[in-house]
Amino acid sequence: MSRPGKDIKITEVSLRDGSHVVAHQFTEQQVRDVTRALDDAGMHYIEVSHGDGLGGSTIQYGRSLVDELKLIAAAVEEVKQSKIAVLLLPGIGTVHELKEANKCGAKLVRVATHVTEADVSAQHINMARELGMEALGFLMMAHSAPVEKLVEQAKLMESYGAEAVYVTDSAGALLPHEVRERIRALRESLDIEVGFHGHNNLSVAVANTFAAIEEGATRIDGSVRCLGAGAGNTQTEVLLAVMDRMGYDVGIDLYKMMDLAEDVVGPIIPGSQEIKKGSLALGYAGVYSSFLLHAERAGKKFGIDPRDILIELGKMNVVGGQEDMILDVAANLSKKQTVEA
C-alpha cells in the first residue's frame, strides 16, 4: 500500500531539546553547521531555542553560552527551504521574547504548557497568529492526565487559534497503546492537526511515533542521534529509515540525514545518547526528561542516588518549571537517610 506521507511535517528538535544535553552551551558555529546540513537534507522545520524555550536562559534552568536570539538569527541565515521554529513555555517566555524571535525570522512557535494548564497559552497563541507565525499547542507530560482531560485542554488550545496540538510525552513514559488512545481521541475531537513528540526513556519512541502516525498524527518530532533530554527523542534518521521501509515519502534525504548525524551532530554530543539508569528511571517514574541532569547534580551534592530523587519527584507529580523542587527533595532524602542511619 502506498503511503505518500505528503501531509506529514517533521520538526527536528536537536537544536532545542538537545540543548539540555550540552547544558545549553551550543555555539553559533554548531547551530549554523547543523542547520545548514538539515536544510540541505530537506528537513521541514528546525527548532532552535534554549532547552526550556524562549527566555529559558536563567540561573534556574541553565544559562546559555550564546544568546538564543543570536542563535535563531544565525539559523535563519543558513536555511534555504526549512523553516525555523521556536518553543515557548508561558511563564518562562513572554510575548516580548516571541516578538523578538519573530523579528529574527522564526516562522513557527509551539506554545507548551502542562497537560492540565492550556488556559495559560491563549495570549501567546493569539500573538503568534497576529505576527503571522504558525502557532501550535504543545501539551507536556501527556501521560499524567486522563484522556478526557487531554481532549478538554486540546480543545482550549484549538479555541485560542492553535493550528495543531501535540501529545507531548515529556517523560518518555507512554507505551504504544497509550499513544494510540490519545492520538485517536484528539483526531476524533479536533478540527485541526494532531502532533506527537516522544522521548526514548523506555526505548519505544520510534514505536510510539508510528502508533501516532497510524492514528492520524501529521506533526511529528525527531532528534538526530537522539540528541535530546533524558535518553533523547525519537531518533530522526532511524524514524526516516523506517518510514521509507513502510512506504512513506516525506521528501527528506535519508542518506544526508545519516551523514549529518554521524559527521555533524556526532562530534557535538558529550557522551553516548543511550538508555542508562538515569534516563530509564525518568520513563519508569514518569518525570520530565530535562530533570535528569539536575537530579544527578543534586544527588552528587547530597550523596543521594539520583534514581531515588526521580522516583520521589514522580510520586509528587512534579511538572516542568518545578526544577527548584529537585534540591528540596534531595535535601529531604538526605536528612531521612541520616535519621535512619
Bind-site residues? 16-17, 170, 197, 199, 288
- Bridge partners, residue 12, by sequence: 46, 222
Q: Is 20 a catalytic residue?
A: yes
Q: HEC states along the chain?
A: CCECCCCCEEEECCCCHHHCCCCCCCCHHHHHHHHHHHHHHCCCEEECCCCCCCCCCECCCECCCCCHHHHHHHHHHHCCCCEEEEEECECCECHHHHHHHHHHCCCEEEEEEECCCHHHHHHHHHHHHHCCCEEEEEEECHHHCCHHHHHHHHHHHHHHCCCEEEEECCCCCCCHHHHHHHHHHHHHHCCCEEEEECECCCCCHHHHHHHHHHCCCCEEEEEHHHCCCCCCECEHHHHHHHHHHCCECCCCCHHHHHHHHHHHHHHHCCCCCCCCHHHHHHHHHCCCCCHHHHHHHHHHHHCCCHHHHHHHHHHCCCCCCCCHHHHHHHHHHHHHHHHHC
Considering 20, 24, 50, 124, which one is annotated as catalytic?
20
Q: Which residues contact 145 (CB under 8 A, 6 or more apart)?
A: 115, 116, 153
Which residues are known binding-site members for substrate? 16-17, 170, 197, 288
The 10 Å CB-count burial string (b at 16+, else e) for 233-265 is bbbbbbbbeebeeeebebebeeebbbebbeebb
193-197/164-168 β-pairing: parallel
Which residues are known binding-site members for Mn(2+)? 17, 197, 199
Cβ–Cβ under 8 Å, residues 80 and 104: no
| Catalytic residue list | 20
